[in-house]
Structure 1
Amino acid sequence: MLKKTLAALALGGALFAGQAIAADYAIDKPGQHAFINFKISHLGYSWLYGTFKDFDGSFSFDAAKPEASKVNVTINTTSVDSNHAERDKHLRGSDFLNVSKHPTATFESTSVKSTGEGTADITGNLTLNGVTKPVVIQAKLLGEGKDPWGGYRAGFEGSTTLKLKDFDIQKDLGPASQEVELILSIEGVRQ
C-alpha cells in the first residue's frame, strides 16, 4: 500500500511539474481572434488606421514564469489594408513596405521581462522592409482559460512605436508622421 501511495504521489508531482512549464500556443488567426493594426498621424490633423490581414505565429507562455515566454510572428506585408485601395497600393510600393522585394515581416522575441501584474516588455527583432532592428512591445495579459470547444486559450494586447526611417522607409510624410504605432491583439490556442 505504501508503494502505491508513493507511486501516486510521484506521478502527481510529475504531472504538476509538467503544468508549470510554458505551454505552446498557435495564434488564432483562422478564427479571426488576432489583429495586427497600426496608426499614424495624418498631417497632425487626424489618425490614419490600418491592419495586416494575413499573418501567422505562435507563442509559449507560463503565467508563473513569464520570462520563459517566446513569440514568433510572420506578417504578409502585401496584406496591408488601410481601407483605401490607392493608398494601399502606395503603401505596398517602394516608398513604404516595398513588398515586391520584402513580402514578409517577422518578429522573433529575444527576452521577456515582467513589468507588473500581468504586464511585460517583450523585446525582439523585427524585420521590416529588409531591415532588422530590436523593438520592445509593451504587453498585457488579458486572460486565459478554457474555451467552449474543449480547448485552452490565452489572450494579450500590446503596442510598440516604430520610427519609419529606422526601417529604411524614407518617404517624408511631414514632422507629425515620422512614427507609426503598432497595436496588437493576440489570442492563442494551446497546442
Structure 2
Amino acid sequence: MLKKTTLGLALSAAVLFSAGAARAAEYKIDKAGQHAFVQFKIKHLGYSWIYGTFKDFDGNFTFDPANPAADKVNVVINTNSIDTNHAERDKHLRSAEFLNVSKFPQATFVSTSVKKDGDELDITGDLTLNGVTKPITLEAKLLGEGKDPWGGYRAGFEAEGTLTLKDYNITTDLGPASSQVELQISLEGVRQ
C-alpha cells in the first residue's frame, strides 16, 4: 500500500509539474518579420517631441499567463542603430555626448521581476545603457496570443517606461523639459 501511495504521489507531482511547465513557454522576438519596435520620444525644448527608434535589436521572453512571476525578458539593442529621421542628429546621438556607441555598442534589458497589476504587468529589470546599469520598470499589456497562419504560436505585448538621461551618464544639458525619455515598446514573439 505504501509503495502504491508513494508511486501515486510521485506521478501526481510529475503531472502537476509538467502541466505547469507546459504553460510557460519561450518566445523569440520576431524582429525579422518587422513585428517588434523599440521606440522613444523626448521633448525638444518643451515645444515638440522628437521620436526615434532602434532598428537593430534582438531578444526573447517567457510567458506563462498562470504564473507571471516566473516570466523573464532579455533584450539586446545595438545602439548604433538609433534613427530619429535626421542623419546629423543621429550622428550626434551616437557620439560620446550621448550614447557613446563606439565604447558601448549595446544596451541590454534583463528582467528581475514580473508582477501582475490588474490587466497590466509591471516588468522590472536592469537596463544597461552607456555603461551604466540601473533598475527600470516597464508597464506592459498583453495584446493577444494565438496560432499564426504558418503553424506557429505567437504572443504580442506593448510596454511603456521612462528613464532619466543623467541616470545613465548622459549629462548634456538639453533643458529641464528634455531630461527624460519616454520608451514605447511593441513586440511580437514566436513560441519556440
Asked if residue 19 in structure 1 is aligned to residue 22 in structure 2, the reply is: yes
2-structure distance, mates of 1:89, 1:82: 10
3-state SS in 1 of match to 2:89: helix
Moved over 3 A (4+): 13-18
3-state SS in 2 of match to 1:145: strand
- In structure 2, what is the equivalent of residue 59 of structure 1? 61
3-state SS in 2 of match to 1:159: strand
2-structure distance, mates of 1:67, 1:115: 11
- In structure 2, what is the equivalent of residue 157 of structure 1? 158
TM-score, length of structure 2 as denominator length: 0.90
3-state SS in 1 of match to 2:91: helix
3-state SS in 2 of match to 1:160: strand
1:16 Cα offset (Å): 4.2
- In structure 2, what is the equivalent of residue 110 of structure 1? 112
2-structure distance, mates of 1:18, 1:38: 35
1:103 Cα offset (Å): 0.3
1:19 Cα offset (Å): 2.3
Amino acid at match of 2:100: N
TM-score, length of structure 1 as denominator length: 0.91
Structure 2: runs of 5 or more not aligned: 1-10
1-structure distance, mates of 2:27, 2:52: 26
3-state SS in 1 of match to 2:32: coil
Of 90, 93, 96, 1:94 maps to 96
1-structure distance, mates of 2:88, 2:29: 30
Map Cα deviations across residues 96-133 of structure 1 (whole Å, 9 max, x no partner).
Answer: 0000100000000000010013x110000000000000
2-structure distance, mates of 1:60, 1:17: 13
2-structure distance, mates of 1:18, 1:90: 47
2-structure distance, mates of 1:157, 1:166: 24
CA RMSD of aligned residues (A): 1.6
3-state SS in 1 of match to 2:166: helix
Identity of matched residues, %: 69
- In structure 2, what is the equivalent of residue 123 of structure 1? 124
- In structure 2, what is the equivalent of residue 3 of structure 1? none
Of 82, 90, 96, 2:84 maps to 82
1-structure distance, mates of 2:127, 2:62: 18
Report how many aligned residue pairs link the two structures.
Answer: 180
1:175 Cα offset (Å): 1.0
2-structure distance, mates of 1:97, 1:87: 12
